[in-house]
Amino acid sequence: MKIAIVGTGYVGLVSGACFAELGADVTCVDVDQEKINSLNNGVIPIYEPGLSDIVQRNMKANRLHFITDLTACVNDVEIVFCAVGTPPDEDGSADLKYVLEVAKTVGMHANNYLVFVTKSTVPVGTAKKVKMTIQVELDKRHKQLEFDVASNPEFLKEGNAIEDFLKPDRVIIGVESGKAQKILEKLYKPMFLNNFRVIFMDIPSAEMTKYAANAMLATRISFMNSIANLCEAVGADVNMVRKGIGSDSRIGNKFLYPGCGYGGSCFPKDVKALIKTAKQHGYDMKVLNAVESVNDIQKEILYKKLKQHFDGNLNDRTIAIWGLSFKPETDDMREAPALVLINALLKENCKIKVYDPIAMNGCRRKLGSVVEYCENKYQATIEADALVLVTEWKEFRIPDWNLVKQNMKGVFIVDGRNLYNKTELERNNFIYTAIGC
């Protein structure tokens, strides 16, 4: 089965590689010539565990191809997946210009039946706009051509995307014709064989499902952070509270970890977009407005704890930061809490020393030389007045606290992910603070 995937960002590249792994003949398309050249040379533009191996293996098997021109393959494929970016517009709504450009190209050049599938996260109603865009271009050509549109949102977690794709909790597919459903059933046949949940529904429901899922997860995070802050105020331990409420089967323990706020490419953008969609339809998403507000405040909590400890005077302090990416197992720094902390500390004339196992280059691109980049976590602590854990990478879990203490000038530890044992650190004469305990 031949398919095309337009966009070789996170969603497009992972999806394309995994479909090829399942046996499909996949052509990935991107207008960025440099990126396509790199991919054809086996260089992967993003960090995702296991992705490089899958890409190279399927390129070698001649099942995975990278080109810059959709028109070169549009009449050779049964399905065109659109996985281009949908960045937030100035008003928070999802910008669909790249999606509609792909639809326009299909309408201008397609001569055979195909299914146009949006894999990007798009607001409800996008499929109608895509269908209209394709039809307008067909009409300009006086071309009578049957085609279908569908929605197949991704639910991949950065850092675990390969596993999520090949062994999904569920696959959501929105269709409006039996023909499109049959074609997508053929593509997803391996999922059926492995008894994974493939759920077909109408297109608006599929489009909404993605936003609703991300908004729910973001809500759980902001709720737990609010509870954590209250726990700290009243003297309760949020780690105990989390275990207590998580043991309730109706609640469960996922996404109940307090921290320094969520970031990444999905949650912030999708919450904003859903709020905007609701507003366009005359409904006020009060819960999500609160979720967003709580998260914005929570991203400042590490800075506030540092400010409080040093009695409001951070001038000329040296601060060590462990972790830069918005979460472990990715180099993605979009909307990362570390950026909020660093920018706040720079205004205080702090010297900032950073270390991250993967995201150092990404940080250099974003911030340049305003921070000191260290070769390892211990180098970052040398002469530091305080150490802040921002991202809970595995290598930060069991540090040599004796070495950290020898290196540091100060004794203050700010644990933004509640990773460490307070009693142990206080026994080593550190001053320790975490989130909600």
User: What are 145-163's pLDDT values in tens digits?
Assistant: 999 999 999 998 888 999 9
DSSP symbol at 394: G
**Is 124 domain-assigned?**
yes
**Is 30 domain-assigned?**
yes
Measured between its terminal Cα atoms, the distance across the chain in Å is 54
H-helix or E-strand spanning residue 381: helix 377-381
CATH of residue 139's domain is 3.40.50.720
Cα angle, residue 201 at apex, residues 118 and 160 outer, rounded to 5° = 55
Whether residue 174 sits in one domain with residue 225 = no
Whether residue 143 sits in one domain with residue 25 = yes
Which of 297, 317, 335 represents a domain boundary (last residue)?
297
Whether residue 251 sits in one domain with residue 194 = no
Q: How far apart are CA 6 and CA 114, in angstroms?
A: 14
Q: How far apart are CA 70 and CA 28, in angstroms?
A: 9
Question: Structurally, how many domains does the chain consist of?
Answer: 3
Which of 275, 297, 319 represents a domain boundary (last residue)?
297
Whether residue 309 sits in one domain with residue 396 = yes
Whether residue 115 sits in one domain with residue 163 = yes
Whether residue 267 sits in one domain with residue 169 = no
115-118 and 25-29 strand pairing = unpaired
Whether residue 156 sits in one domain with residue 30 = yes
Give the contacts of 259 (CB within 8 A, at least 6 positions apart). 221, 225, 298, 337, 416, 417, 418, 435
- State the pLDDT at residue 384: 98
Q: How far apart are CA 135 and CA 107, in angstroms?
A: 6
In 3D space, the residue among 298, 437, 320 whose CA is nearest the CA of residue 376 turns out to be: 320
Whether residue 321 sits in one domain with residue 408 = yes
**Is 206 domain-assigned?**
no
Whether residue 306 sits in one domain with residue 291 = no
Positions of the chain with pLDDT lower than 50, given as ranges: none
Whether residue 340 sits in one domain with residue 215 = no
Which of 297, 313, 331 represents a domain boundary (last residue)?
297
In 3D space, the residue among 47, 10, 3, 1 whose CA is nearest the CA of residue 27 turns out to be: 3
2-6 and 386-389 strand pairing = unpaired
Active-site residue numbers?
A: 266
Whether residue 193 sits in one domain with residue 272 = no
Whether residue 112 sits in one domain with residue 167 = yes
Q: How far apart are CA 109 and CA 69, in angstroms?
A: 11
**Four-CA torsion 190, 161, 263, 85, nearest 10 degrees:** -70
Residue 279 belongs to domain spanning: 211-297
